[in-house]
Amino acid sequence: MKAHQKHSASSARHSARQEEVSAVVRWVRPILIGAVAGIVCCLLLLLLCSAVMAAQDIPQMAVTPMAVVAAAIGAFVGGFIAARAAGARGIVYGAACGAVLYLLVMIAGFAVLKDIRGVYALVKLAVMVGCGAVGGIVGVNFRKR
């Protein structure tokens, strides 16, 4: 009888651990899917911007706004896809995806430029988290026709 109780207790702990891991995966998976989609979108937009800048005489002052717009669109797309993958809580998944994208963009920017401007970083954070949240709201409410 005692061996059965030990096995039962061990099985219950194992089951509880599996549920915890499953809950984390349920939360993290849509955010990672959205972040990958958002990064791909952002990179494609930045490539397009660089092609336009190479072909046209674009003022240097336009570079930063173009980068912020590309990041905002990437965050919107990432939030949209994260919310679609999650199926609920669009604003939460979208904002989380925007925050993850912001961290990735800041890490990449710091690796290249070795400098982060404070106000610019805060504006970019607000834009990316906000656009990700809006993308999440749209994504969770999007209906296929």
Tens digit of pLDDT at every position of the chain (145 positions): 455 555 555 555 656 667 676 777 888 999 999 999 999 999 999 999 989 988 988 888 888 889 899 999 999 999 999 999 998 899 999 999 999 999 999 898 888 877 777 788 899 999 999 999 999 999 999 876 5
Q: Where are the domains positioned within the chain?
A: 28-141
What is the phi-psi region of residue 115: left when phi exceeds 0, alpha when psi lies from -120 to 50, beta otherwise?
beta
Q: Are 82 and 30 in contact (CB under 8 A)?
A: yes
Q: Per the confidence metrics, is the pTM higher than 0.85?
A: no
The first and second tokens of residue 105, run together, are 């963009």
8 A C-beta contact, residue 68 and residue 125 = no
Where is 24: in which H helix or E strand?
helix 2-55
Residue 8 confidence (pLDDT): 56
Q: What is the pLDDT of residue 1?
A: 47
The confidence score (pLDDT) of residue 10 equals 57
Tokens of 113: 């430029």
